[in-house]
Copies of this chain bind each other. A is one copy, B any other.
């Protein structure tokens, strides 16, 4: 850690977002070592070398820092999912890729490095804004791909689109929410292909 960061007086005139980033980077490191639940804002202040009051100028609570870390992580999953979906043209293939990318990115980010696991669990348990926004992202993406498939004539149009979207969301839910995902490990290898296959059969015109 650089001397500037460990100084109890923040460096003169850093842009606010730089300080926020500094706090988030240090907090991520600290949480991953000592756990999110056990860490207090005082612990963080001591580690970073800021005063507690200074941290509170940028984040109103520990949860707000956790939210930011969680958001960053969820944005990463979302970027991967969007990339996977955009890489192909046809809506059926988009849907297949979406299932696969969500499961893979969620598993890796929530569990493989276990860094964000505890924060993700808190976020899902306490229904943080970041978790709700992530679910909303998935719902929207499902709706978009459905609409594209209906427009291209590749998906059926008899069922109200909201009903179809809600059902597909429910099918994906155990692989989006880390609380359920940790109990779905036995199925994560086969689930994306099996479920995407079932969903695509349900969409055939």
**B-binding residues in A (CB < 8 A):** 124, 156, 159, 163-164, 166-168, 170-171, 173-174, 177, 179-180, 183-184, 187, 190-191, 194-195, 197-199, 201-203
What B residues does A166 contact at CB under 8 A? Answer: 190, 194
Contact with A194, one of B124, B167, B195, B203 (Cβ below 8 angstroms): B167
User: Could you list 21 examples of A-B contacts with CB < 8 Å?
Assistant: A124-B183, A156-B201, A159-B201, A163-B194, A163-B197, A166-B190, A167-B195, A167-B197, A167-B198, A170-B187, A170-B191, A171-B198, A173-B184, A173-B187, A174-B180, A179-B183, A180-B184, A198-B198, A198-B199, A198-B202, A201-B201
Among residues of B, the one whose C-beta sits closest to the C-beta of A179 is B183
Q: Is the interface of A mostly helix, strand, loop or mixed?
A: helix
Copies of this protein chain in the complex: 2
